[in-house]
Each structure stands twice: as structure tokens, then as C-alpha cells.
Structure 1
Amino acid sequence: MIERDVQGRDLRTLVVPRVGSLVETSDVWEPYWLLDPAATVVEPVVVYLKDLQASGRPATTQRSYAMDLLRWFRFLWAVEVPWDRATRDEARDFSRWIQLSDKPRRTGAPAVSAVPNPVTGKAGPGRKYASATRGHSETVLRGFYDFHADAGSGPVVNPFPLARRGRRPHAHHNPMDLHRNERSGLYRPRHVQRVPRCIPDEKFNELFAQLGSHRDRALVAFWVSTGARASELLGAHYGDADPGQQLITVVRKGTRAIQQLPASPDAFVWLRLYQAQMYGLVPTGADDPLWWTLRRPFRELGYHAAYRMFNRANAALGANWSLHDLRHTAAYRMARDPDMLLTDVQWVLGHAHLSATQLYLTPLTEDVIADVLAHHARRSAGTSTKATVSADEPSSLSYRPESLNVLFGEGTA
């Protein structure tokens, strides 16, 4: 017998069509629009994105939030519930659906697998939504309804409530630690702290050899030596590169702060070769883009084009490293340098808290595996050596006589 809720909604047979869309407008004031199945702008989402923009969220963050909202609206359209009539029942069912349902796949897209890659050891994306995706979605939807509740344009009760607190606030709290908000979303999944992965030096050299142009080599060399995020480096302008001081200026993703980052000499060598190759073909004003496509008509290089470039090099090795793994690699290299302070690494990476930088002190997976295998080898060698010792030979390990006297009450030590 199929279990149903009080409304008779059967999530096992529920089909959520991929209707509606998120479109890029090329308008800095409204970078993205969420459209319903009739191609009409969903105004509650547009207003919320404007509020995000007012609070300093960049267009990339607005897109990320809008994708979570699109997934939620598709669910509501499938169950035929207006967004402002959604209750905890819809929030609960959506949280169950996103946890247990397979992610939609485009027609002709290759099958996904969670089996670790034999080259990198990284698991694939898998068929289900990741816990990080579900957690981010819950946070966005709770904030969306909080915004409309404050504005008086949505339901009074947030469908995505905070978890009930069943004990005294800050009970058993260490007074040396800062107080934090202990209440998370009721339907928020448990957060799994992922250990950052870096590319081993020998594998990085193989990957670098697969890059097909001076531009690609310059980009990867900058990413792996500065620790900049992919979008931060791609947003650099021609005048931001300072070869004389080995510095390149980027705009930080979260704070939008302008920061100069030191880069390796090799990065500037590849940059110079790339600029010589493009000389006279693209504008070179101080405010012009630093990175361009290599084919006509020349356009500013975007993230997706850089992502495809890196994936082509990956495919040649059968690997699945990401652009962000280059940032992890830079962080691990710097954090493992005994002559470099961890606070310096924090500054380079732009971390607000040192605890985020300390993740890069975590042992690498391949190093731990090698150490454990060496441990087993030593154990095996030790066992075989002990097996050859005669039983008549006295053991080299024994208790001190005076300790035995105290233990059995025959005297004092």
C-alpha cells in the first residue's frame, strides 16, 4: 500500500517537469529573470533578487539563488500550489523530493556516476542532489520567504522554519568560544565537511602539458600560484597585471575588495607569450579585458569557455579535476611550506576566518593511504620476525619487579 500524506500527495509518482527558465538579461540592474511556463516574469523572485543586489550580492550569487528558486517553483507548479499559499507541508514534501529524486538530465547527456575517478580519486556528481545543494536550497528558500514576510507580500508563516530548540540556549557552552546561532533550518540536511583536494605535482605537470595555448598555460599558472578563484582571475583587466612586481590585481568574489596577489615568474612568462600572440588583434587599454577567446570574433573569455578548456585537458588524462581544485592546490602548496605563515596563506586566499585556511593543513588522501599501507607492511614484517623467535628465548619486554611487588601487595616500590 502506497503511503500518502494528509493531502493525498504521492511523491513516488510525482513528475516535476522542467518548465520555466532562468534567463540572463545583460542588464546590470536586473541580471537575471525567472520566467514561468508561460514565459512571464515571476515578479516575487525579481523583487527578491533586487534586494540581494542592494545588499552587495554579485550577479553570480543572484544566479545561484535564482536557480534554487526555479527548482522550488517547478515543484510548486507540479503540485499546483501558489508560491504565497505554500505551507510547511509543501516545504516538507519538497525537502523529501529533492533528497530522494534523481536530478534531471538533458537529452543525450552522459550518465553520471558517483564512482571515484581512477586518476583523481574524486567521486562524480552522482544521480542525486548533493547535501550541499540541498542545504543551500533550504537557506535560500527560508531567506526568500523571510523577505516577503517582512515586506507583507508573502505568507505570514515561513514554510521553511527554523529547527525547534529543545534545550536551554547555549547550554554547555564553552565561555572561551564565541556564541553562534545554534538554530538551523528544520529541513536543512546535515553538513558534511569535505576535505579540499589538490592536484599532485606529477599529475599537475601531466595536466599542464595537455594545455594547447599560451593563454591556457598562463591562466592555469596564475590560478595555481595565486590561489585566486576562477571568476576573480577571469575578471582581471589588462592594466591589472604588473610583471615588474610579479603582482596581479583581482576583485574578491564576496567582499568585492580589490587585492593584489603575488604570482609565480612562470605565470608572467606565459602571459607575455600570450600577449605577444594577440598583439594588434585585441584592445590593450588598461580597462580592457586581459583574457580573450582565441577565435574570431574575439570576445572576453567567460567562465564556461575556460571551464571547457580545462575539461579538454582533463579528458586527455581521464581525470575530473575542477578549476577550483587549482585554488586548493595553491593553498596546499603554500600551507605546507614551513617558511610561510598560515596567516599569510589566509590573506592570499581572502579567507575571513583562519579556521577556513586551517583545512589545508589536513593530510592529503593519497599521503594517508601511503602511510597506512606502509604501516601494514611494517606490521607484516614485524609479525614474520617474531614468528622466527624461539619460544625458549626470554622476551625483551617485562615488568619491573618493584612494580609487581606493589601490584600484588608484597612490598613498596
Structure 2
Amino acid sequence: MIEDEELQRDLATLAVAPVGELQATGDGWLPFRLVDPAGVPVEAVSVFFHDLQAAGRSEATLRSYGMDLLRWFRFLWAIGVGWERAGRVEARDFCRWMQVAGKPARAHWRHPEVRPAPAATVVPYAPSVRAHAETVLRGFYDFHLDAGSGPLMNPFPLDRARRGRRAHAHHNPMEPYRDERTGRYRPTVPSRVPRAVPDAEFNEIFARLPSHRDRALVAFYISTGARASELLSATQGGVDPGRQLIAVVRKGSRVVQELPASTDAFVWLRLYQAQFEGLVPRGRRQPLWWTVRAPLTPLNYHAAHRIFERAVAAAGSAATLHALRHTAAYRMAEDPHLPLTDVQFVLGHALLTTTQIYVTPRQEAVVRRVLAHHAQQTAKAAERVIPSPAPGYRPETLRVLFGGAP
């Protein structure tokens, strides 16, 4: 039976304060910890992080999970419910709050002088963000349910249609398998076609890059299809110009993999290395990418992202750094001499179905071909000769029927 306070909870007037924090500790045993408004670490989250770390999850995964847990705990602190007493109603209200209330308005960390958008224009959380949060919180409570340290029922249950029957009980063998372990409050995430950067737009962005290092970075991104963090993990000993290979650490598996790159990428890399000869430490295990301003330090993800943002803004484009990976994938997938399994290996996809999204035609290519089709049809219509009417028809009658001169 639903209690009175649950029926009277008004989410429209609920104010979720940005209290608490996900702190980076710098400790390898616990890279991140969640603290409450009083600065006290939330032990339930720390134990969950220990379990994730034991399962081989990276620090980036711990941070991503921690941000979703911080959002959930802030909601619980706002409604005055402890995490161990949260039930289905709290989970339902939290998913509704994310869908309707939207992101809190605050200044961007890079541009604090810019005022945040008013509350009326705040955009709700994207379906992908809400789906990720639902998955993280369901895993969090599953862990404490198994450990006996949480509620007796998971506040984020599976879908009603999934319970009480065998998975894939009525699966059509002619269709691919789908994950039927869908949460009840998990939103439907629309499938999006990855955005690639057109060739002319990419050339304009590349021309705006100010240094050899930046040109080498972008050339490797566009030819290897590596993720931004993966390419930055390359070391000086991982570059083999003779074989045109560069070794990177894969994001998920943390396995070192050699990726083939274009000749231009190694040319720009050599120019960058010659420019910094004697300025950066030398060694096979030393980072390959360094900052260009003193003090010289290894280049990190945020700096690389900002480098590309400046070039994109100068070119008047809206491309992102991750779009270079999509562009490289499209270029490789469109090559008839390159098998799709090779593209899968280079991109590091676990499933071939993930790589198959790049077989979908690019929007700009479709628009270009359809416009060419319309132009061709117009040219054919202009060349079409209208036959003269057969003798014996009265011109004024034809004029009434067809309009204009017969």
C-alpha cells in the first residue's frame, strides 16, 4: 500500500541542491569517493567501487558510475530518504525527475563568465544519460542485495515482461538477439547515425591547426580511428614508422594494440619530433605527445579536446574530436577492398554489429546523390520534345485543353 507522503510528493517544486561531491583521491586503491553534504564519505559507494575495481573496471568507469550515483544521492538527500530505504516509488520519481526537470542551470567550468541558461530553457537529460543512470543504479543495488547490506528489493527492477519467463523464449532464429534484461524505468534510446566530417570541412579544420604536433594528432585520429584517450596513451617506443604502425592502449580491454596509420601522419609526427628535439625527455616509455608551452608536460585529454575546439571554431564548423573517429570508420567501411572485419579490428569493436552502423550511407552523401538525381530529371525533362498534334485538330480546342499555344 502506498503511503500518504509518497502520494503527496510534488516533483514540480522539488529543489535538488548540488550538495555532496565526487572527489578524486589520487589513491590507486580508491581513485574516487562520494562524500555527503557534511564531507563524510558514503561507505556504500566506496564498497561498490571496490567491487568494480576487482572486476577490472577502469578509473574512467568508476568516475562515470560515481557521477550517476552522485545524482541519485542528491535526489535522495532532497526528499529525505536514505539510500538503504529507497524503494520503487523513489526510483520511479527519480526517473521522472530526470526526464522532466532537466539539468541544473550552472555556468560552464571553462567559461564561468557566461551566465547559465534560465530555468525555462533547461534541457532535460538525454535518453542515453537516463539509460546509463538506470543501469548503474540497478547494478549498485544488485551488489548490495547480494551482499545483504541494502534493501530487500532492488528499487530499479527489470521490466515486467522479462520476469517469470525464459529469456529469448520466442526468439525468431532469423533475427539477431536482443538484450531482454531491460529495466522497467529504462528509457528507449534512439539509434543515431554517427556524424562524419565532410572532406571539405575537414580540410578547412586541418588548415587552421597551428602546430606540427596538432597536425600530427589530427592526422593520426583521422587515419587510425583511435579514440582520443587511446591515441594519447601512445609512447615514443610504440611508434614504428617503417611499418607505419602506432601502438595504443585500448579503452575497454586496456590491451596494447598496433594500428596502421597514413604516411602523412608519420610525416607530421617527424616534423613535430624534430621541432621538440632536446626539449622533452627521450625514452621508449616516455609519452609521445607533450604540450607546446612551458612547462612541457604530457598532453592530456582535455588539452587535446580544447586544441581541436579552437581549430573548429576558427573554421566555423561544429565538428567534435570524436567525430574524427566516425569519419575514419566511414572512410574505411566505404572502401570495397577493405573487409568489414578489418574495420572492426582497427576500431576495436567487440561485435561486428557495432561496426555495421558505418555501412549506413552518410547524410551528406545521400543528399548529394538525391540532388544530382533531381537535376538529372530536370535536364531530361528540358530535352524532352513535345510532339506536334496530329492534323485535323482545331488549335483553339487544344488551347482550352492544355493551355497556352498548342
Change (3 A) 1:71 1:371: same
| Contact kept? 1:34, 1:46, Cα under 8 Å | yes
Show the counterpart of 1:244: 242
| Contact kept? 2:228, 2:321, Cα under 8 Å | yes
Give, in angstroms, the shift of residue 390 of structure 1.
6.5
SS in 1 for 2:30: coil
State the distance in 1 between where 2:389 and 2:345 align. 61
Bigger mean CA deviation after superposition, 269-278 or 194-203: 269-278
Show the counterpart of 2:348: 350
Bigger mean CA deviation after superposition, 288-297 or 61-70: 288-297
Q: TM-score under structure 2 normalisation?
A: 0.87
Q: TM-score under structure 1 normalisation?
A: 0.86
Show the counterpart of 1:137: 133
Counterpart residue identity of residue 141, structure 1: L
State the distance in 2 between where 1:196 and 1:11 align. 35
Counterpart residue identity of residue 316, structure 1: A
Q: Deviations over 1:249-270 (max 9, x none)?
A: 1111111111100111111111
Change (3 A) 1:43 1:9: same
| Contact kept? 2:236, 2:285, Cα under 8 Å | yes
Give, in angstroms, the shift of residue 175 of structure 1.
2.8
| Contact kept? 1:22, 1:33, Cα under 8 Å | yes
Change (3 A) 1:32 1:391: farther
Give, in angstroms, the shift of residue 374 of structure 1.
3.6
Show the counterpart of 2:69: 69
Bigger mean CA deviation after superposition, 331-340 or 104-113: 104-113
| Contact kept? 1:165, 1:183, Cα under 8 Å | no
| Contact kept? 2:196, 2:323, Cα under 8 Å | yes
Percent identity of paired positions between Structure 1 and Structure 2: 60
Change (3 A) 1:81 1:126: closer
Show the counterpart of 2:284: 286
SS in 1 for 2:95: helix
List aligned pairs for 1:12-411, cutoff 5 A. 12-107=12-107, 108-109=113-114, 127-165=123-161, 169=166, 170-176=168-174, 180-378=178-376, 388=386
| Contact kept? 1:234, 1:302, Cα under 8 Å | yes
SS in 2 for 1:249: strand
* Structure 1: 5+ residue stretches without partners: 114-124, 394-413
State the distance in 2 between where 1:8 and 1:389 align. 79
Note the aligned Cα RMSD (angstroms): 2.5
Show the counterpart of 1:404: none
Give, in angstroms, the shift of residue 54 of structure 1.
0.9
Counterpart residue identity of residue 206, structure 1: E
State the distance in 2 between where 1:381 and 1:244 align. 52
| Contact kept? 2:105, 2:122, Cα under 8 Å | no
Q: Deviations over 1:61-83 (max 9, x none)?
A: 11111111111111111111111
State the distance in 1 between where 2:375 and 2:29 align. 63
Q: Deviations over 1:181-233 (max 9, x none)?
A: 41300000012111111111111110011111111111111111111111111
Q: Deviations over 1:366-401 (max 9, x none)?
A: 1222233344445556677789567879xxxxxxxx
SS in 2 for 1:370: helix
SS in 2 for 1:250: strand
Change (3 A) 1:196 1:148: same
State the distance in 1 between where 2:389 and 2:297 align. 80
State the distance in 2 between where 1:34 and 1:45 align. 7
| Contact kept? 1:246, 1:265, Cα under 8 Å | yes
Give, in angstroms, the shift of residue 320 of structure 1.
2.2
State the distance in 2 between where 1:384 and 1:82 align. 75
State the distance in 2 between where 1:387 and 1:109 align. 63
Counterpart residue identity of residue 32, structure 1: F
Q: Alignment length, in residue pairs?
A: 379
